[in-house]
Amino acid sequence: MIKKSEPAAPDIAKLTKPKAKIELMRLRLEIEGHNAAYYQHDAPRISDAEYDALRRRLEAIEAKFPDLVSASSPTQTVGAAPARGFAKVQHAVPMLSLGNAFTDEEVTEFALRVQRFLRLDEIPAIVAEPKIDGLSLSLRYEHGELVRAATRGDGFTGEDVTANVRTIADIPTTLKGKAIPAACELRGEVYMLKQDFLALNKRQEEAGDTVFANPRNSAAGSLRQKDVTITASRPLKFFAYAWGEMSDYPMQEPTQHKMLQWLAHAGFVVNPEITLCNSVEDALKFYRRIGELRAALPYDIDGVVYKVDRLDYQERLGFVSRSPRWAIAHKFAAEQATTVLEKIDIQVGRTGAMTPVARLQPVTVGGVVVQNATLHNEDYIKGLGNDGSPLRDGVDIREGDTVVVQRAGDVIPQIVSVVLDKRPADLPKYEFPHKCPVCGSHAVREEGEAVWRCTGALICPAQAVERLKHFVSRLAFDIDGLGEKQIELFHERGWVKEPADIFTLKARNAELQIEKLEGYGETSVRNLFAAIDVRRTIELHRLIFALGIRHVGEGNAKLLARHYGTIDAFLEAMRAAADAQTEEGNTSEAYQDLDNIAGIGDVVAEAVVEFFAETRNRAALEALLAELTEVLPAEKVKRDTAVAGKTVVFTGSLSKFTRDEAKAAAERLGAKVAGSVSKKTDYVVAGEDAGSKLTKAKDLGVAVLTEDEWLGLIGG
């Protein structure tokens, strides 16, 4: 990101009125753009410190030319209008923001201003609270029941996120205790723990989904989901610290700290660090203590908020334009530094996802030495990322670039901008590798995905443990006595690197001496070898599933097995299809035949062919087959039956056949058996005591059959 404000920014002292007018307009447009990026798209383009600097410049110019302040100035409005997609909610009391202080002097000035305004003999008690870096939320309760939850939006109108908020455990749906006001709007911050954010991003990255720049964006993106089940799956948390409308106060002589206690009694989580201070010195001590604690806190904060404790004082103090006179935010200085990006390394995850990492010339950022920064994926490096990537508009990152690094909200260091002036003229663009750096297999990037993946499923050491665990799992080889723990152990010892190695353990045991391992003995080892021998005969669909080909789960493995019938036919077809694979596509008959299997789409077909296009996967499979005695052919599916191509769901307790029998019979006749009812379901076969699936089928108008009707349909 090129900081547009810097080169052009004229000295305020020298500004003439006409120049000031133009400068204000320019700043207004720039700030509005950043507001929209931050509030509507959860994707800030500049750091908070840079944003604050822009605002301060605007404020300084407005202070010098008060008659140039227009109603549309960012100082007169808050945030940005709500993003489309959610219903709008009017806040009964606007959700305004806070003025900022950056120095001890500014905090002292604030306290003295308050004292003067109230004509007090001394500075009144102040509550100091960590400023949580999340997104604020207003919760409306009527007679103690949560009726509406809304984001801040532009401060006056927010988005209705009631359904999403009901999935957050920290937010009570019913307030506890006595003295509950008939109507109240309780407010606070939705946030995500740093460790939860990291784990979520890792899962997202592996799955090729949106990666978030920091916990704040991650919390905002998780809350504002149209699909509430996604919000429910995200670890969102909430601190209560304020309120809007209050039909009456639940106590005599209310104060901020008593209200926080009441919020805790009512069932909210209130931040445990919050402290009541009796002097500015105490407040500043709190700021310093929290500053030192910052990195160790499990959530992100970006400063401290001071609030006058007595609510009658707060009322008298009131508001100036967008912020209260009774509170101020004391921000932490931005933790940024400039350094050189020496190299981009690629890390390969346990499922083959290739993640780029920036290796930096070590630099101290906010007291911590930073040497690595995450780069997420190819688009992020190219400056095309739209998920909070600070680098956009095609500004890319190259090896050798001088970059500004920020400890993004304390969590993982981020690159916030490239210093383009320092980029050598001949610095080549970074080419994202199309080969796995760990095993050398070719990598693929699926359409619509940002992630490159290694295709060496069977042989890549980075993926080995995951693949081997999958190989022995219940629906695959299902070997008694060889579970995840044993796989980890055998892999760690170097005994099992690829599937075939499992079957040579017995022959190698004179050397390995598995029985000497803790927890093993002669008998258990003999049993293990026997269990492995049993599996030298395996059904074709289990073998296909066990290979761990992307997108080939149990269902697709069965479709493939039934289509090809035998391992030989399957392999011959896959080799033919793989050998015809080109970057432009695949026109071979073998590929067309695969792609035409009912239920196998382009994405699956591509993934299967990519697996076989990697010759080392083929070699590993051949080594495995050499150890097996027989791959049992699959019963070919009948295609001309009444249920071929239909999707069936069995529910309730069946009396004429077991669930497994029903499933096997349906599949033999070409039907697909699903576990849940959707619009795509053709038949629901309901036994005794069928429950929610039956209700859903009726709701969706899906045909419901009794067991006898089903038998009639399939011909007994």
State how far the alpha carbon of 205 is from the alpha carbons of 76, 199, 217, in Å. 40, 10, 15
Smaller CB distance to ligand IVH: residue 330 or 672? 330
Query: Is 640 part of any known ligand binding site?
Result: no
Shortest distance in whole angstroms from residue 323 CB to ligand IVH: 7
Which of 58, 149, 305, 607 binds ligand IVH (CB under 6 A)? It is 305
Nearest position to ligand IVH, beta carbon: 136
Smaller CB distance to ligand IVH: residue 256 or 463? 256
Interaction with ligand IVH in 540-579: which residues (CB under 6 A)?
A: none
300 near ligand IVH (CB under 6 A): no
324 near ligand IVH (CB under 6 A): yes
SS3 state at 585: strand
Beta bridge partners, 149, equal 139
Shortest distance in whole angstroms from residue 93 CB to ligand IVH: 9
How far apart are alpha carbons 300 and 332 in whole angstroms? 12
311 near ligand IVH (CB under 6 A): no
Listed residue (415, 465, 457, 463) closest to 551, CA to CA? 457
Query: Is 277 part of any known ligand binding site?
Result: no
Contact 125, 310 (CB under 8 A): yes
Shortest distance in whole angstroms from residue 168 CB to ligand IVH: 16
Which of 61, 327, 439, 460 binds ligand IVH (CB under 6 A)? It is 327
Interaction with ligand IVH in 489-508: which residues (CB under 6 A)?
A: none
185 near ligand IVH (CB under 6 A): no
- Give the residue carrying structure tokens 């100036």: 320
How far apart are alpha carbons 188 and 221 in whole angstroms? 17
Sign of CA dihedral 358, 363, 364, 366: negative
Residues listed for the chain:
716
H or E stretch including 287? helix 280-293
SS (H, E, C) 226-267: CCHHHHHCCCEEEEEEEEEEECCCCCCCCEHHHHHHHHHHHC
User: Of the listed pieces 22-30, 51-59, 90-98, 114-122, which binds ligand IVH according to CB under 6 A?
Assistant: 90-98
Which of 329, 479, 549, 648 binds ligand IVH (CB under 6 A)? It is 329
241 near ligand IVH (CB under 6 A): yes
Query: Is 49 part of any known ligand binding site?
Result: yes
Contact 371, 330 (CB under 8 A): no
98 near ligand IVH (CB under 6 A): yes
Listed residue (552, 555, 506) closest to 531, CA to CA? 506
Pairing of strands 336-348, 301-308: unpaired
Residues that contact ligand IVH, how many (by CB under 6 A)? 15
131 a catalytic residue: yes
Smaller CB distance to ligand IVH: residue 129 or 378? 129
CA atoms within 13 A on the CB side of 29: 7
138 near ligand IVH (CB under 6 A): no
Q: Which of 19, 88, 131, 226 is catalytic?
A: 131
Cα-based angle 663, 666, 671 (whole degrees, multiple of 5):
115
DSSP string, 665-706: HHHHTT-EE-SS--TT--EEEE-BT--HHHHHHHHHT-EEE-
Listed residue (222, 254, 214) closest to 238, CA to CA? 222
User: Of the listed pieces 14-22, 130-138, 364-372, 483-491, which binds ligand IVH according to CB under 6 A?
Assistant: 130-138
Neighbouring residues of 158: CB distance < 8 A, sequence distance ≥ 6: 82, 88, 89, 91, 95, 138, 150, 151, 152
SS3 state at 474: coil
Query: Is 636 part of any known ligand binding site?
Result: no
131 near ligand IVH (CB under 6 A): yes
Query: Is 699 part of any known ligand binding site?
Result: no
Shortest distance in whole angstroms from residue 313 CB to ligand IVH: 14
Shortest distance in whole angstroms from residue 215 CB to ligand IVH: 13
Shortest distance in whole angstroms from residue 267 CB to ligand IVH: 18
Q: Which residues are catalytic?
A: 131
| Positions in the binding site for ligand IVH (CB under 6 A) | 96-98, 129, 131-132, 136, 152, 189, 241-242, 305, 324, 327, 329
Annotated binding site: 48-52, 97-98, 129, 152, 189, 307, 331, 436, 439, 460
Annotated binding site for Zn(2+): 436, 439, 460
